[in-house]
Structure 1
Amino acid sequence: MPAFSTIRLILCGLGAAALLAVTVVDADARRGGSFGSRGSKTYTAPPATQTAPNAASPINRTATQPQAAPRAGAPGAAAGGMFSRGGFMGGMLAGFLGAGLLGLLFGSGFLSGLSSFAGVLGLLIQIVLIVLVVRLLLAWWQRRQQGAYATAAGPALRDNQAPGQAQRPAYGGGSGATLLGQAESIDLTPADFDVFEQRLKDVNAAFSAEDIAKLRSLATPEIVGYFSEELSDNASRGLVNTVSDVKLEQGDLAEAWREGDAEYATVAMRYTSVDYTTQRATGQIVDGDKTPFERTELWTFRRSRGGEWLLSAIQES
């Protein structure tokens, strides 16, 4: 009995940790994860860079239809992994673990339909194996979708060489500029990188100030819609999300291309910011703190030829 009690406590701890993981994912998913549009590349992972060597989270909210994107991945894949909010598997496993945890605490046994600890252990092993297989398959798919590496790096975007000044990997079957049969690679200038760095600061500042009019001058209507939705949700709950002291630590270009009259550029940016949520009425902090926090994201910008760059997608890395 003492040994079984110890095992029961360990399983309770594992269940509580899993439930806590679900809560943490929800709390850290600021701005709703990965969203927006990257033209024909919406369902294709951006190339890895020195700033963002890990695969970017698939875009889980977009106005771009899968049929319009070649080599489309699974459009329903949600950022955040197995336990991400809104995912069917995450909800099922969270409920499963919660039910098991309550069963242990109230003495009815973990999933009381099981007749022995051996059955419990066998079930847990099966769950672990299923999770590992799914993670391996997802990692394999992301690597397959991932293009050639972009190796430009520096302390700030403006310090990068313009793509036309450095040797870049060829896409497709030759040294031409076509990407995936639709997109044509383009060269950027240092001035473009300056704009991207400034957009990082301005977008966060406008979001923090709940300034929708300013956001319309910085982002596409689709992105503004997602921001507006989150700000409205905060307002309905009496919350304010403050983002300040945004500082770019490192950034580099993942890819830049043209589709018809539209030009796109995806840049990886590692930056620090102060990010916290307060109650609107009292100013009391309910999430986050005033300590600078570092995150890495891939921002895609879009412009009409000769126009201004507008934020069109954000992906977590």
Structure 2
Amino acid sequence: MSYSELQAEVPPAAAEPARVQGRGPFQLAWARFRRDKIALVSLVVLLLIVLFALMAPLWATWTGHPYDATFPQTGLDINGTPTGPGAEFWLGADQLGRDVLVRSAYGARISLIVGIAASLLASLFGVTAGVLAGYVGGVLDTLLARAMDITLALPYLLVAIVLAVTFQLTSVAASLTMTIFVIAFFSFAATGRIIRGQVMSLKQKEFIEAARSLGAGRWRIMFVDVLPNLVAQVTVLASLLVPTSIVFEATLSFLGVGVRLPMPSWGSMLGEGSDVFQTAWWLLAVPGVLLLLTTLAFNLVGDAIRDALDPRADRASGGK
């Protein structure tokens, strides 16, 4: 028998088994997030709102209407009633003849800046207080826990109004900074209490005991061993704080103690339009719908992030 005949009788080698590709926790979280169609739609809505805010100067240039300029000749009729949506004012004019579209775009900037900045500050303060209170314990835990309880018990609207009246902030930048810090101050306590409970649970785990037995110091354990295990919780809390901060800012501006005029805010636009909404419905509809869409989209994305970062959610759905 020739060599070629022997070679033909040799059975083909078994197919090489498929290699299992490992995926990290964030890859798995992204895969879970992508399966949530509502979350993806909400994310697209948020991106469109961000784009709308970034294009605020372009809207002013294209329409020829700066956000603080009044156009009584074209923005108001002979009776002084605001002009409705049309070719000149795409989303109508307000009671002073200002362009609602341009003011809404600049208001979106204020809402997004305040919401994101306040949530980041609140997360920073809350995580710091929660980690220190939960891990160090003792007198420090008592002091920080009582401070968070007092903060949660304070009537935030009353305190914000008192601060605004006391400091009499007249510039836009100063009032914006004050609004961000007030919202962050009243938001950090809820985050701090949640993180405190998580840290108290984590410090009893075996890997923390192992780090202590190896001689790791307190600060190293807090920032190297404990803090990385809180990334998922902090991410979810921060994403859910953004819509709360946006509503907080809108409430303060509606009451006249938020961001100072002439810089528009969705809250101040709602306050100004509440007097003439019977004849100019768009003054409430435009900022109200934008505020509703933004807060709803942030909440839905935050819920989806929470589910995506929870491995149990994938098991509950059967990995579909």
Structure with the bigger RCO (C-alpha within 8 Å, sep 6+) is 2
Greater share of residues in strand: 1
Tell me, yes or no, whether TM beats 0.5. Answer: no
TM-score of Structure 1 vs Structure 2, range by shorter chain? under 0.3
Relative to the length of structure 2, the TM-score reads 0.25
Radius of gyration: which is bigger? 2
Greater share of residues in helix: 2
Relative to the length of structure 1, the TM-score reads 0.25
